[in-house]
């Protein structure tokens, strides 16, 4: 074999691909012995690194001595592992497989001077028909609720604020009372929504919020309405997006590989641990507190994880079909910003993450304006 990376193998012919349930494939085939032999030197160096024999310097044991010490099968196994690692990317390429994660390798036949056989089982990106996403989005866009705050919503929120204030004042009064009288407290009359609320006056609103925040009733209502509008806009936007994607996902027929679901659950756990650590708690204590095991949470989160995995596949597929790509300048800008904040992050992974977020955003914008 010449040194310029050539193989005597037709990877397309030498390997067959069998489709398994759960969006998995099994790759089976054999490599000629020459492929194994070309890995022998590298295998000997790797195996010899950690062998210590009396009378020899570590890493400087003559090959015949080393071969005798290790035994032919150990050396063959190491050669096989290297030959597979070398061949695997070529097989994937030739068969045009979109693999996810690491393959599970099984060597089925290995003997000196013989071709050796192995199988590799691995998850692949599921294939699915894209539903008519534009029609679905259009239908939902036409029913998008208004972001305007109605007078009714405003007065409901004012009542809520007044009830909260009244309840807070009652608790304070009770506490002050307890200090003065040591008699047994009488059962409180049931204070509820029937309790008449004080009239909304300039004097009253001055006592709401921070000192000097509200001067008049009109001022209070204007500021509250602005606050409610921002709130409503955000809630509507989030709900609207979820309505669009949920409706499209509901029409997707797709089998998810377990690895994609696991990866989403893994992210959800990472997020939860981060939140818990930020609150100065420990994950185990938190789980004890909510009386759940990790496995129970996993089972509870699976449906959400499936939707998240489907959503990502859906957005990628739409992007491909519509030729949507993230803006390169924006990807560079945000990648650099993140690398400034997280000094030891891996640039390649940060860039992929940023590109994915920006791509999702672009696809969602397209659907929202369909």
pLDDT digits (tens, 9 = 90+) for 115-170: 999 999 999 999 999 999 999 999 999 999 999 999 999 999 999 999 988 888 88
Dist CA 39 CA 81 (whole Å): 9
Residue 270 binned pLDDT confidence (cut-offs 50, 70, 90): very high
Return the beta strands (E) in the chain as ranges.
Answer: 15-20, 24-31, 99-109, 116-124
41 and 94 part of one domain: yes
102 and 208 part of one domain: no
In a domain, 147, yes or no: yes
Per-residue pLDDT for 4 more than 80? no
Residue 194 binned pLDDT confidence (cut-offs 50, 70, 90): low
The model's pTM is 0.74
361 and 331 Cβ atoms separated by less than 8 Å:
no
Average pLDDT over residues 174-182: 72
Number of domains in the chain: 2
In a domain, 146, yes or no: yes
Range of the domain at 33: 11-124
Dist CA 363 CA 370 (whole Å): 11
For the chain, percent of residues with pLDDT exceeding 90: 72
pLDDT in tens, 209-253: 888 888 899 999 999 999 999 999 999 999 999 999 999 999 999
CATH of the domain at 107: 3.30.70.1050
Residue 191 binned pLDDT confidence (cut-offs 50, 70, 90): low
* pLDDT of res. 166: 87
Residue among 276, 257, 305 nearest 128 (CA): 257
15 and 32 Cβ atoms separated by less than 8 Å:
no
Q: What is the DSSP letter of 21?
A: T
CA 8 to chain centre: 41
Secondary structure class of 146 (helix, strand, coil): coil
In a domain, 256, yes or no: no
* pLDDT of res. 3: 46
Q: What is the DSSP letter of 345?
A: S
* pLDDT of res. 2: 41
115 and 155 part of one domain: no
215 and 175 part of one domain: yes
239 and 137 part of one domain: yes
Per-residue pLDDT for 186 more than 60? no
66 and 102 part of one domain: yes
* pLDDT of res. 39: 94
Mean pLDDT of the chain: 90
Per-residue pLDDT for 192 more than 70? no
70 and 94 part of one domain: yes
63 and 143 part of one domain: no
In a domain, 337, yes or no: no
């Amino acid at each position: 074999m010449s040194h310029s990376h050539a193989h005597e193998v037709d990877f397309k012919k030498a390997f067959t691909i069998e489709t398994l349930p759960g969006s998995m494939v099994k790759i089976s085939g054999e490599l000629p012995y020459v492929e194994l032999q070309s890995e022998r030197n590298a295998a000997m160096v790797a195996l010899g690194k950690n062998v210590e024999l009396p009378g020899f310097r570590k890493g400087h044991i003559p090959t015949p001595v080393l071969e005798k010490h290790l035994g032919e099968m150990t050396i063959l196994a190491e050669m096989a592992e290297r030959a597979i690692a070398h061949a695997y990317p070529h097989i994937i390429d030739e068969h045009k497989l979109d693999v996810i994660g690491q393959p599970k390798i099984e060597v089925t036949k290995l003997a000196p001077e013989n071709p050796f056989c192995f199988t590799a089982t691995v998850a692949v990106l599921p294939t699915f028909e894209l539903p008519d996403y534009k029609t679905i989005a259009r239908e939902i866009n036409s029913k998008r609720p208004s972001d305007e705050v109605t007078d009714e919503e405003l007065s409901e929120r004012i009542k809520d604020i007044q009830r909260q204030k009244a309840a807070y004042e009652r608790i304070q009064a009770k506490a002050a009372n307890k200090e003065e009288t040591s008699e047994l407290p009488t059962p409180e009359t049931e204070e509820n929504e029937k309790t008449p609320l004080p009239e909304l006056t300039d004097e009253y609103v001055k006592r709401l919020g921070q000192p000097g925040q509200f001067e008049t009733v009109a001022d209070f209502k204007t500021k509250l309405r602005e606050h409610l509008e921002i709130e409503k806009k955000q809630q509507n936007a989030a709900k609207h997006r979820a309505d669009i994607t949920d409706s499209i996902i509901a029409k997707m027929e797709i089998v998810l590989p377990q690895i994609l679901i696991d990866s989403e659950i893994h992210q959800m756990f990472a997020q939860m641990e981060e939140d818990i650590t930020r609150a100065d708690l420990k994950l185990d204590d938190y789980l004890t507190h909510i009386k759940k095991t990790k496995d129970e949470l996993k089972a509870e989160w699976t449906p959400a994880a499936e939707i998240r995995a489907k959503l990502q596949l859906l957005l990628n597929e739409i992007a491909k079909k519509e030729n949507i790509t993230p803006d390169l300048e924006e990807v560079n800008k945000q990648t650099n910003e993140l690398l400034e904040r997280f000094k030891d992050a891996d640039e390649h992974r940060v860039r992929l993450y940023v590109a994915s977020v920006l791509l999702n955003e672009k696809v969602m914008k397209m659907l929202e304006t369909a």
